[in-house]
Each structure stands twice: as C-alpha cells, then as structure tokens.
Amino acid sequence: MSIAFVAVIAIVVLGLGYFLYGGFIARQYALDDRRTTPAVIKNDGIDFVPEKPFSLLSQHFSAIAAAGPIAGPILACAAFGWLPCLLWIIIGVVLIGAVHDFSALVASIRHGAHSIAEIARQHLGKRAYLAMVAFIWLALLYVIVAFTQITADTFVGKAEELEGLSVTFNKGGAVAMASTLYLLLALGLGVLQKSFKLPLWLVTVVFVPATLGCVWAGTQLDSVFNHPAQVWFIAILVYCFIASMLPMWLLQQPRGFLGGWVLYLALGVGVVGVLFGGFTIKQPALTDAASAILNPLASFEKVLDGNTAGAVGTMLFPFLFVTIACGACSGFHGLICGGTTSRQIAKESHCKPIGFGAMLLEGFVAVIALATIMKLSPEQSKGLPAARIYGDGLADFFGVIAGKDAVLFAATFGAMAFSTFVFDTLDVSARLGRYLLSELLGIQSWLGGTVAAGVTAGVPLAVLLTSDPNGYRLYWTLFGTANQLLAAITLLGVSVWLYNHGRRCWFVVLPMLFVGVTTVTAISLQIVSGFAAAFKNKNFLSAPSINAAVGLLLLSLAAYLVLCAIRSVRNAPPLTQEF
C-alpha cells in the first residue's frame, strides 16, 4: 500500500475534525470577543503580552510539538504495527487531544490565565491544589529529563547515513551549531521587534530564510562543537534556566515564531515526501506482538516477572496509547495552554485555531513521524533510535524536493527539525516550573522566580549526570503515562468547572474516562513490574524501581484529586451565571 494514500486519509479526517467537531466545541464555550482577555488586562510586557494569532500559533505549536509526537509513534509502530498507531492518532487527536488543549486554554483564560493547578484550587479546594502542583512538578521533571537527553543525543555523533561517501562530516556538531545560531537569531529578532516594531511580512521574508541559513552554516561549521553528552546536559539546562527568566518578547515569542516556521517547513517537507516520494509501506499493519491483546495473561506474566520492557512490547492495551503519548493526547499541552499561551491570547475567538488547530497539526506531525518508519522494513528499522529514524526519513523526504545532492543540508535539516521540536519545549518547561512554584509559595519576586527556575532545571541535571546514558528510554513509558494521566486530571478539573456552572460537559467527561482508565491501567502495571524487578534483583535504586515509586505517588495523587472532584460536585450546587 502507498504511504500517500494513508496520508490523504489523515489529512481529510483532521480537516473535517477542525471544522466540524472543533466548531461544535467552540460553541459549547460561547467564545466572545467582547470579553477582555487577561493578556490585555494585565499587559506587563514580560509574561502577559497580547500576540497576533498567527505568531502565537507558531509559538504555541513549537512549544507543544516536542519529542512525543515523533518518538512515540515510531516506538509504537515498531512494537504494534502501523495500523493501530494511525487509527489512534487521527481519531484520538480529534476527539480527545484537541478537545483537551482547547478546553485547557479556555478554562485558563476564564480564570485569569492561571494554571490548571490554580483552577483546581478554586473548584476543588486548597489541598487538591497542592496535590495538583505536586503531580505537575513530577510530570515536568520527567519531561525535562527525557527531552534534555534526546536533544543532547542530536548534538553528538557522526552521520552514519554518510558512511561510504567521500566527505568528513559531524552531523551532531552541525546540528549543535545550527541550533545555537538559531537561538541567537531569535534573540536578535526579539531586540529588533521591540525596538522597531517590524511588520510581520518583513520578519517572515528576512528571518525565515535566515533560519535556513543557520542550517547551512551548521554544515560548514560542523567541527566547532564537539562535546560529550554530559557537557550538553549542562549547557542545555543552563540555557533553560536563563531562558525561563527572560522577558517573553526577548526570546520565547521570536523563538516560537521561528520555531513554528521550522515546524511548518518540516511539515511541508513531510507532505511533499509522503505524497510525491513514491514510498510504499514496508512495516506490518499489525505485528505478532499486537495480537497479544487476545492473550493478556502471557503478557501479565512478564509484568509479574519484572520485565516491564517485555510487557510494553506485547500489551497493545494500554501501552499503545501511552507510548504514542503526545501524538494523540498530552497533558503537558494543558500546562502550555495555562502557563504561557493563555497570557498572550488577545481575543477569545483565537482559542479555536490555537488550542484546537495546533493540536491537529501536532497529530499530523505524528503521522509524518509514523511515515518515516513505515517506509522501512522491520529489518531496516530494528535497533535504530527514534531520532535517527525521523531525521533520516525527513532527509529522504527533503531529497524529493532538492535532490540527492543536498545530502549534507538534508541530514542537518532533518536532525535540527527534531531538536527544534524538543528544544523549544525545554525552556518552556523551566518557565512553567517557575510559574508553578511561584504560585505555590505566593512569591512573585524576581528572586523567588530565580530559585524556582533553578530548582526546575537543577533536579533534572542531577538525574542526568548520575543516571544511565540511555535513561530517557527507561523513563519514556512512565513519562507517556504520567503525561496522559495529567491530561485526564486536567479534563477532570474542566468537567467540574463546567458542571458547577450548569454547562454541558459530556464532551470532556468521556475523553477523561477513556484516558483515565487507560493510564491508570498502564501505571498500575508499571508499579507492579517495577517493584517485582526491585525484589527480584535486590536493587531499589534502578530505573524500574524509581519509576514504580514515582508511579505509586502519581497514582495516589490522582486518586485524591478524583475524590476532591466528587466531593466538589456533591457539595456545590450548580451555578447558572456567566462562566
């Protein structure tokens, strides 16, 4: 079967989902541009800054489109086959993921652009707020650890796809240089925008090609940065700490704008590649492991034996869903919506294209990532890391446009696009950590924010410098589980808010129940397997053991939040005033 046929189906489903179901969801929230948004009311030039919808879409898209929608589908396809992955991506993103993001964004705006934790405080109580902050904090640590490792990996190593050619090329060094120049370019754009208020068309015409110039410069300066992963761990997290403290206009907004264009270009390259590259599907629609759903006892024996990795590879339910993670639904997006994006929404009508639309774009990013492994046979993809499969696949797609002679540029562009997806999320996570701890401690001073950002970046750095070099692979499944469990909790908070105001809420309750049951099952299996491995190997400091302990804590916090929600619904009479 042709990959182009599959891509066309995905495009049609996602397009119909935006106009039909997205329009329905927008009507449920009664968006009204006559309401003044927090970005306009509190415009302080630092955190609350009204932004034009296209620029904000680019920034929001670059913040949410991290490693999840790329690595997740590739890992899931290798384990279960491409068909269940495709179905979950295109159906899940419309009915669950986009609804979650849209709802989290609107809820934040209606609550003064506060985070979902603050919304929990208002509707579930102070203790629920503390439980939510603890949950989000742990989830953010997993995001930062996993994504810092992946970003550092793209900055290290040679270009295996160039072996046999008469060139000496360090792809890791090229990507590192290109990414550094890209960040410097964003800083320059921020200063120019602040000083001269450049029109959007001029910024696009000048700085988007300049971003591609950074890629080309990286290919010419590939030997400048040649450092081990540990050095990049430090450099990346120091950058995240600094970036989280800078004004929005100086780095995050211009970097988000440029990052959005990198993603648009990657999407464009992907579309051309899958539609006109003539690639055929070489992966099986269903693997032998996927059929294990008919024999769950065999997989559960691996759980009891402490073989978490073996169980993940054979249990389509629930691990298909949490492995794909952000490609269909992401609780992390709710943090972005309620942490940075809601503070830049100029009008409520912008919520649909930015909240609902950006998530559908991420779903298509996941489809492109899925295509990069679908065109490989199981023998070709076996043992390859997801970043390598995606970067090489995007380079092949780029070759459809520029020809095979652009191999150096294509290899760098593919890897830089991946690192951009991840890199833009990291400093946003550090900024969100600053917001959360500031809210928790009631400290809005610069010193309090500095401490909060330092702790958020410092804890992951300590973990990375003392853990297994391939730690992110060990933590990935729990990251995906915690991420989607956070989405279920966010939908729980939105459901209570809607119910307490007498509004229709089934469209968030049903996704909440599905994601909740799936993630609770996944996290329970990981807890059992992790502790089984700990007792079997008598090692309580291994990654499975740590995952089990953290999973148990996350599950306990989630259970407490559910109890708080039930109590709130029982005790609070439905309201009818404007929400």
Query: What's 535-547 look like in SS3?
Result: HHHCCCCCHHHHH
pLDDT in tens, 9-35: 999 999 999 999 999 999 999 999 999
Backbone region of residue 403 per phi and psi (left: phi > 0; alpha: psi in -120 to 50; beta: other values): left
What is the spatial distance between Cα 273 and Cα 267, in angstroms, rounded to a whole number? Answer: 10
Which DSSP category does 280 fall into? B
Query: In this structure, what DSSP letter does residue 499 have?
Result: H
Phi, psi of 2 (to 5 degrees): -80, 140
Residue 386, number of CB atoms within 10 A of its CB:
24
Cα–Cα distance, 485 to 522 (Å, whole number): 10
Q: In 3-state terms, what secondary structure has residue 554?
A: helix
Chain-centre distance for alpha carbon 504 = 29
How many contiguous H segments (helices) and E segments (strands) does the chain have? 26, 0
Instruction: State how far the Cα of 428 lies from the Cα of 339, in Å rounded to an integer.
Output: 9
| Residue at token pair 């200063």 | 191
Q: How many other C-beta atoms can be found within 10 angstroms of the C-beta atom of residue 249? A: 16
Rounded CA-CA distance 49/52 in Å is 10
Residue 181 has which token pair? 């120049």
- Does the bond joining 318 to the residue before it have cis omega, within 30 degrees of 0? yes
- What is the reported pLDDT for 356? 96
Task: Decide if 365 contacts 69 (C-beta within 8 A).
Answer: yes
Distances (CA, A) of 545 to 133, 319, 357: 23, 19, 39
Q: Are the CB atoms for 355 and 104 separated by under 8 Å?
A: yes
| Distance from the first to the final alpha carbon of the chain | 49
H helices of 442-542, in order, are: 446-466, 471-500, 506-537
* pLDDT one-digit tens code per residue, 392-412: 888 888 888 877 667 677 777
The amino acid at residue 390 is: Y
Task: Specify the pLDDT at position 383.
Answer: 79
Q: What is the pLDDT of residue 157?
A: 60
| DSSP symbol at 356 | I
| pLDDT for the residue numbered 162 | 40
What is the predicted pLDDT for the residue at 546?
80
Average pLDDT, the chain: 84
CATH class in words for 3-288+297-440+470-571: mainly alpha
Nearest residue to 48 (alpha-carbon basis) of 213, 181, 327, 247: 247
- Residue 4's pLDDT is 94
The reported pLDDT for the residue numbered 456 is 85
Select from 324, 424, 325 the least CA-distant residue to 65: 424
Which residues in the chain land under pLDDT 70? 157-169, 289-314, 404-405, 407, 421, 439-440, 442, 444, 468-474, 541, 572-579
The verdict on pTM exceeding 0.85 is no
What tokens appear for 516 in the block? 């909740």
Residues recorded for the chain = 579
| Chain centroid to CA 478 | 14
pLDDT at 310: 62
